[in-house]
Amino acid sequence: MKSLVILAAGLHFATGIPLDTTGGHEHPTPSSSFSFSIPPSLSPTLSPTPGPSPTPNPGESPAGCRLLNTDAEWPAPDAWLAAFPGVVPGNDTEAANRPDYILAAMDVETVQAAVKFAADNNIRLTVVSSGHDFLGRNDAPSGLGLDISGLTGVKVLESFTPSESGAESPSGDVNVIEPVPGQQAAVTFGAGMSTQALNDAIDSSKLFTIGAAHGSVRTAGGYGQAGGHSPFSSKYGLGSDQVLEYKVVTADGELVVANSVSNPDLFWALRGGGGGTFGIVVEATVKAFPTPSVTVSNWWINATNADNPGQGYWDAAAYLHSQFPVINEQGVQGYYYVYPNAMKGIFLTADEQAGQEAAQAIWTPILEKLAEFDGMEPAETKYTDFSSYKEFYTAILGGGHGGCGHQHKRAIAKRHDGHGATPMGIIPMDSRLLGKEHLESQDLAQALQDAMPQVEQGQLRGHLIGGGAVLSSTEDTAVLPAWRQTYVHLIGTGVGDFKVDSLRKLAPDTGAYVNEASHENPNWKTDFWGSNYERLSEIKTKYDPNGVFWVTPGINADEYSIIDGRLCNTASTDPDFAPPGDNKNPGTSSPDNETGSPFPGTEPDDGNCTSPTPELPADFYDEPDLDPSKPGKDGATVTKIKYGPYTLEAMDMISNRPDLNMETPCKDCYITAIQANLEYEDGTTANVNTGAWLHHMVLYKNGRDAEDLVCNFGGIGLMPQRIYASGNERSVSRLNQVLQYGIELGSSDRIGMIYDLMNESDQPATYYLTLTYEWLPSSTSGYKAAEMAWLDITDCGVSAVPAQQGQFELRSDGWKSTVNGRLLSASGHVHNGGVNTTIWLNGEPICTSRQVYGRTPEFIAPPHGGHGGDEGDDGGHEHGAEGKPSISDAETCVDFGDVKVGDELVVSAYYDTDKYPLDEAHDGEGFESIMGISRVYIGT
């Protein structure tokens, strides 16, 4: 399944790198944790699942191994339903690699019952709370998968005193307190509470907690149990430093209290020893702090030569790192990205160290020095103040902005009547912790250059989240001791295989953050837990002697191995590396591994897809193609720019690739119309009839004041301003059909794009992506700036949703307008199978964009020799049988009303797959994902 990623890879401000794909709607309501109910729809008729498994074994399972569903001892479906009326099949497709059964726990008793059932029946058990495990430890291809995201509830405390009985569990609505000056406040909450939901709940008490930068990460899950870094770790400490108490279901199914006076050894182990290892945390109590004021410093700097930045670029990157220990002492913390030819920073200061003047005083000399290095351009900067943590977090990291970031996103899929956590799959990355001596090393420039992943979307993602309270913490936890000398956590990431061995050579005695590391990290016990491993091993053996909870890498992981698809009590053979796990699911940006997907195909009826030249409806407005020799408006210039070349093998694709620094058509101008196309070297059109697909492209402006109107992260420029997008329909977007408006492009503004191209032919091909712009000088009398509102059925999500069959409508939650203005023009985008999109203003339809199929021969699919491609993002992608038409025209609405601040704009997409068949998925199983987007230009 492909997702239309709406921002260049890496322009995302995150601790949990992947982003929420639900637009934030997975947040549980902070009410009572322990009310248990099962919707009727969660009581299916169960049968043995058809997921992949080893050769059937009609006899007993091998000694010391977990059962598989082919074993004679495997519990019958009636036994599962008797134990858990709410259990549902997990592996219900041939392609699935999920547990045999999935159970959503809504109370602690269900968690206890699940643990006992798994232990008593010798069944593999995995636990998921939010899905953000890049190493895939929350999933398995067999056994029982336990989802604890439904354990909610919040209780705010003026203070906390540990006791053997533990803190009182939440019940009812969230209480409000008045924090006592000089007294440490706290909050008790269910393990299903996400970072954002928890902090939203306690904001009325003017408090916040330390949690992941990504809003849907569960604070009590693997995040804090493995250390946990946050936007304010430097100021307040790691996530593990915040924990005052856990309530835990241990391997025997008992609920125990773990704090400094009750099971203190378990309490120590749970704060750094890793999630899914010692038990299942069902409730936590953590420190809460008065909400701070926050200043965000946002900057971007490019190399002069994007194709060959030169040594000066890497010297500049090393200089930047050398300044981190100094500015960290001044309260600076945050995130930065080193691309092959550009760097971006998003840094924070808080409380008495906040304020734009202070931030500028810190960053101006550093950025000026960066610009002095050979081959570097001056930096673009922006500084923004926020009065509270909630204002800062909601604007920048809130769930409603979930899709505005890096393409590797976890999947949270709708399941029956609610939402549940879905494991995101394994994400390729490698990382290292760096201390002051490493940041100031003369070898750093070369180490950074060598560490840059030479793969698609390769980048180094930096986290200045150490120093400060991380160094000075007096908390006795099991976290890797190297954290206490760390300033920077640096990750190499991208699409493909890579290592950051040069960073290991630079810092051989530090280690890596186990939640964001490579499964193939050598010396894994030392690198992930250091001198704490031996004690952690003893505690693991004490509380889980039979390995009910097994994760890899994890404590005592090497006492087990996967043999013929089974977890067996056989020691692994390679002591230098953590044993391989049984979860092989790759990272996904969409929920196609969920129950019910992929969907079965249907053959089109004769006549549905055979007309090659349908007529446009009489009232259909189709904006004419742009012609460089014939501007649409007097005084305008039409400029066509060819980007590329892009060479693709037969049945190949380029997937969501960013171009961060493109040639612009003009400076100090208004762009009044844009059109995308795909061409061959000789200028002829490359389209469906020759196997070429412009699957999608998104054009954005990146400059001092360039920020997206809808997903704008509170106006600090983290999301560049989207100004145009196109699918293979290649429609024109024009802003000045009636009124004098355009997209303003300043002298220092840059443009970039994300694009996805496909070659469906049986021969290699070279394409050029062209953009034709019509523009006027910004001095043109009467012209004003317009903006594009991106309305999407996933709101600020990843745009793509799983395909389904039949006639149906998909609808967004809506966007509250932040501007007053005129609705200049709009055009919709759907995938094959779609009929139209409709824009709704305060509940009333105001614009319907109809789609026409195969109006010209270029949009009719040729014969295919079969689809190709490998698993993953890059591979073949068969979109239809011979003669199948694709969308050729998308209707435009022109000058269709006004919008005011606070008005709600919603987009819906109507599909009829009986009339217009869906496109096949790239692997031949099921169908391509579907979308519903409208590009709305507003003159303000």
* DSSP class per residue in 832-843: TTEEEEEEEETT
CA dihedral angle for residue 220, residue 223, residue 226, residue 232, rounded to 10 degrees = -110
Closest alpha carbon to 452 in 307, 314, 557? 314
Write down the pLDDT at residue 714. 52
867 CB-contact burial (10 Å; exposed 0-12 / middle 13-18 / buried 19+): middle
Strands 898-899 and 821-830: antiparallel
Predicted confidence (pLDDT) per residue in 608-651, tens digit? 223 334 567 777 888 889 988 889 888 999 999 999 999 999 88
Q: Domains in the chain and their CATH numbers?
A: 294-387+427-518 (3.40.462.20), 637-939 (no CATH)
- Please provide the distance, in angstroms rounded to a whole number, between the alpha carbons at the two ends of the chain: 37
Q: What residues contact 495, with CB distance under 8 A and at least 6 apart? A: 428, 455, 456, 457, 655, 872, 873, 874
Cα-trace Rg, the chain: 28
Task: Show the tokens assigned to 801.
Answer: 């949703």
Write down the pLDDT at residue 414. 25
Write down the pLDDT at residue 58. 52
Write down the pLDDT at residue 707. 82
Predicted confidence (pLDDT) per residue in 9-44, tens digit? 333 322 222 223 333 333 333 333 322 222 322 333
Write down the pLDDT at residue 713. 52
Give me the amino acid identity at 60: E
Write down the pLDDT at residue 923. 57
| Single pTM value for the model | 0.63
Q: What residues contact 568, with CB distance under 8 A and at least 6 apart? A: 62, 64, 65, 66, 560, 561, 562
Distance CA 57, CA 61 (A): 7
Q: 809, 764 in Cβ contact below 8 A?
A: no
146 CB-contact burial (10 Å; exposed 0-12 / middle 13-18 / buried 19+): buried
Distance CA 730, CA 528 (A): 50
What is the CA angle 393-397-403, rounded to 5?
A: 160
Write down the pLDDT at residue 380. 92
Write down the pLDDT at residue 664. 94
Chain centroid to CA 909: 24
Distance CA 283, CA 249 (A): 10
Closest alpha carbon to 187 in 291, 267, 287, 281? 287
Task: Show the tokens assigned to 58.
Answer: 């009609």
Write down the pLDDT at residue 3. 44
Give me the amino acid identity at 713: F
Write down the pLDDT at residue 719. 64
Count other C-beta atoms under 10 Å from residue 272's C-beta.
28
Write down the pLDDT at residue 543. 98
Beta bridge partners of 294: 350, 386
Count other C-beta atoms under 10 Å from residue 385's C-beta.
16
HSE-CB at 592 with a 13 A cutoff on CA atoms is: 27
Query: Tokens 């290649």 — which residue?
Result: 730
Predicted confidence (pLDDT) per residue in 772-823, tens digit? 999 999 999 999 999 999 999 999 888 889 999 999 999 999 999 999 999 9
Q: 640, 628 in Cβ contact below 8 A?
A: yes
Q: 874, 407 in Cβ contact below 8 A?
A: no
What is the CA angle 110-112-117, rounded to 5?
A: 90
Distance CA 742, CA 781 (A): 12
Q: 581, 420 in Cβ contact below 8 A?
A: no
Residues of the chain with pLDDT under 70: 1-60, 91-96, 396-420, 588-615, 703-705, 713-719, 862-883, 922-924
Strands 692-702 and 721-726: antiparallel
Write down the pLDDT at residue 102. 93
Q: 786, 708 in Cβ contact below 8 A?
A: no
Count other C-beta atoms under 10 Å from residue 631's C-beta.
17
Q: 840, 793 in Cβ contact below 8 A?
A: no
Q: 49, 6 in Cβ contact below 8 A?
A: no
Write down the pLDDT at residue 612. 38
> What's the Cα-to-Cα distance from 66 to each of 47, 71, 570, 803, rounded to whole Å?
20, 10, 12, 35
Give me the amino acid identity at 151: L
Write down the pLDDT at residue 96. 52
Distance CA 793, CA 810 (A): 6
Distance CA 153, CA 284 (A): 11
Q: 230, 500 in Cβ contact below 8 A?
A: no
Residue-wise DSSP of 139-204: --SSSEEEE-TT---EEEES-----SS-PPPP-SSPP---PPTTS-EEEEEETT-BHHHHHHHHGG
Distance CA 104, CA 149 (A): 8
Give me the amino acid identity at 721: Q
Closest alpha carbon to 13 in 466, 478, 398? 398
Q: What residues contact 342, with CB distance under 8 A and at least 6 apart? A: 300, 301, 302, 303, 306, 660, 661
φ/ψ of 888, rounded to 5, equals -115, -20
Count other C-beta atoms under 10 Å from residue 469's C-beta.
18
Write down the pLDDT at residue 214. 85
φ/ψ of 110, rounded to 5, equals -65, -40
Give me the amino acid identity at 13: F
Distance CA 48, CA 581 (A): 23
